[in-house]
A and B are shown apart, each in its own frame.
Chain A
Amino acid sequence: MSFLSSPTGFLTSTIKDALGWARKYSIFQYPFVTACCGMEYMSTAASHYDVDRFGAGFPRFSPRQSDVLFVVGTISHKMAPVLKTIHDQMCEPKWVVAFGVCTCTGGFYDNYSTVMGIDTIIPVDIYIPGCPPRPENVIDGLMKLQEKIQKGEQSRTLYDPRTKTGRPAELSQGYSIEQHIKHIESSP
């Protein structure tokens, strides 16, 4: 027993790493597909881009058997309670990916029917912007998610529009036009 409770925590940290490694390469995803982004999701999932290379090639159409919720497409206020229920039904540990600008922020739908970002309802781990995002972009997001899963991190916060807080820090910092121009000029 002295080995388990050793001050270095050798065994527990190794088990955590092993679990993270196992989890990140066996993602059982639940695709919650509502709109046009679904087309891009399908092309990412199909053989050309092949998310199976990342261990995420097996969508389960039951939230109780999946650990990553892919929210793909516009979420309306009528749909929002359903999404929340699905998220509640998933077992821990669980992660959420917001796929496309509609799910990230509401996108260009500033109207009576659309939820302004699903992070006002459920916590989101990875935001993949784009309308729709290119498959490369999705795979990039998936790899970022795998890093998160490896570290055992999960997002727990909701976005609060009154205080404008709750999203991941790097998102609330904003992205200025100057930054954007600098980014374009520096890229080859």
Chain B
Amino acid sequence: MTPNLTTSKEQGILTPLQRVQEQFSQEVVETHAFRGDETLVIRPGALLAVAKFLKTAPELDFNFLMDLTAVDYLFFAGGRVQKEFRFEVVYHFYSLKHNHRLRIKVPVDEKDPEVDTLTGLWPSADWYEREAWDMFGIQFKGHPNLKRILMYEEFQGHALRKDYPFNKRQPLIGPQN
């Protein structure tokens, strides 16, 4: 039940979600909206095109990348829920001008965890993407400086992956575990 969406559609004003859906109907996998909290799941290949559209279309004007992170769905809900792809990269956009928000999710495969970088459009994506690489091992194609940001270079593996043993330590000095 999304009353505000139907009314705005009746008035001929599309919400950001509907606008993107209209433009990229082929690329949208799934949508979800709840009280103005809108989510789009899109194909990885379309990320750059969608992002460019979000930033440049005047009625959208998403000039603020609020957050960028990743989710690991391994053992999701205790293993009861099986997802087609293991990872999802999640983007939160906000428009300071129109005061609206949009969440974009991009499913990423375990074998080749790679998506396009958004640093060319929002420079703030730089550190977010480095964090997602550090913690989840997601590669961002075209990132100018993709190296670890929280852990040290000697660290093996990616600490927030669900198959990383939570208390496995790799100290630089001092005793091993």
Chain A residues at the B interface, C-beta cutoff of 8 Å: 77-78, 80-81, 84, 110-113, 115-116, 120-121, 160-162
Contact = CB atoms under 8 A, between A and B. Distances in A.
Contacts of A162: 175
Interface in B124-177: 150-152, 159, 164, 166-175, 177
A111 B174 contact: no
B173 A78 contact: no
Contact of B174 (A110, A112, A113, A115): A115
Contact of B172 (A78, A112, A116, A160): A78
B167 A81 contact: no
Given A80-B172, A112-B168, A112-B170, 11 more contacts: A77-B170, A77-B172, A78-B152, A81-B172, A110-B166, A110-B167, A112-B159, A120-B174, A120-B175, A121-B173, A121-B174
Contacts of B151: 78, 113
A80 B177 CA distance: 14
Interface of B is mostly: loop
Contacts of A115: 171, 174
Contact of A77 (B164, B167, B169): B169
B159 A161 contact: no
Nearest to B160: A112
A80 B164 CA distance: 22
A110 to B, nearest CB: 5
A112 B175 contact: no
Contacts of B166: 110-112
Given A80-B173, A84-B173, A121-B173, A112 B167 contact: yes
Contact of B169 (A84, A112, A160): A112
A84 B168 CA distance: 22
B167 A80 contact: no
A160 B177 CA distance: 11
